[in-house]
């Protein structure tokens, strides 16, 4: 699946560009190609995992908005099973929330989920933001003559599939040791890791919906709507919203006219908060 996505994504973008330039019919309406377009659209436009068999917003692959960005799915054939879910029947038979806890304690007769997690107030960590939240990093070693060697490119494909972002090392949802020492330095610490350290029942309960170029308008229209949380069947979560500069620093020659006006920014953010209130609180 991952290999197929890598091969088709550049072709899809090139054909889409040609269609826009020359007015060709939408290639994504062609049977067979439509399915490929839908998969790519999920990852790069909707910011959802490209491979997600049960469509619960979580995946078993790492890249293309998979488990680098959201906790790894432990059952991609059942949408009730995903990180952050409230346990089903105490998770006696299966690990429905993917935190690694299931089964029955033979001494007490109680589910391990009840023994270890009841009363601990499990909660997830969700980041909604731009490239800073996604931990965008373009390795200088790729461009410095003194640093060029095969080792700095060994993870190139993985990095590109994650949009040159490093959510797995980010301040909000970092969740692994730094194994990219050739191109990015330092230890990893994050809000998610602190939550997990305090309560292991929070294992895998993170979502990073950071988008390069994200601003208040896209926050309201797409980013927040990529969040996956059910206020009835999932545990609560901390939500961190950050939009640092793209509403002002926009890269256009006529920068001032392209800036988000204060009233528009306020409306976008209030609409985003209202969406969160209506959907996860």
Distance of CA 254 to the CA centre of its chain: 32
Give the CA radius of gyration of the chain.
21
Max CA separation in the chain (angstroms): 72
Please state the separation of Cα 83 from the chain's center in Å.
13
Phi, psi of 207 (to 5 degrees): -140, 125
Distance CA 85, CA 103 (A): 16
Active-site option among 59, 131, 170, 226? 131
CB-CB contact of 195 with 202 (8 Å) = yes
- Told to judge if 46 belongs to the known catalytic residues of this protein, a careful annotator would answer no
| Residues acting as catalytic residues | 131
């Amino acid at each position: 699946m991952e290999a197929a996505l890598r091969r088709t994504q550049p072709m899809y973008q090139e054909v889409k560009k040609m269609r826009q330039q020359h007015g060709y019919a939408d290639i994504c309406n062609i049977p067979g190609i439509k399915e490929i377009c839908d998969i790519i659209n999920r990852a790069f436009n909707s910011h959802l995992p490209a491979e997600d068999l049960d469509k619960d917003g979580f995946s078993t692959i790492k890249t293309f908005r998979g488990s680098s960005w959201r906790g790894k799915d432990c059952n991609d054939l059942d949408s009730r099973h995903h990180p952050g879910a409230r346990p089903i029947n105490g998770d006696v038979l299966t690990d429905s929330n993917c935190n690694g806890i299931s089964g029955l304690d033979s001494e007490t007769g109680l589910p391990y989920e009840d023994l270890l997690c009841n009363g601990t107030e499990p909660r997830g960590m969700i980041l909604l933001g731009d490239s800073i939240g996604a931990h965008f990093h373009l390795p200088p070693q790729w461009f410095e003559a003194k640093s060029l060697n095969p080792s700095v490119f060994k993870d190139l494909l993985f990095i590109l599939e994650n949009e040159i972002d490093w959510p797995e090392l980010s301040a909000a949802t970092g969740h692994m040791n730094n194994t990219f020492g050739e191109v990015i330095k330092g230890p990893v610490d994050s809000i998610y890791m602190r939550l997990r350290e305090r309560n292991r029942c929070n294992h895998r309960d993170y979502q990073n919906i950071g988008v390069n170029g994200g601003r208040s308008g896209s926050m309201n229209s797409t980013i927040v709507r990529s969040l996956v949380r059910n206020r009835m069947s999932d545990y609560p979560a901390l939500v961190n919203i950050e939009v640092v500069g793209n509403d002002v620093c926009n890269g256009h020659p006529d920068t001032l006219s392209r800036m988000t006006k204060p009233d528009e920014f306020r409306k976008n953010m209030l609409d985003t908060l209202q969406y969160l209130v209506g959907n996860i609180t």
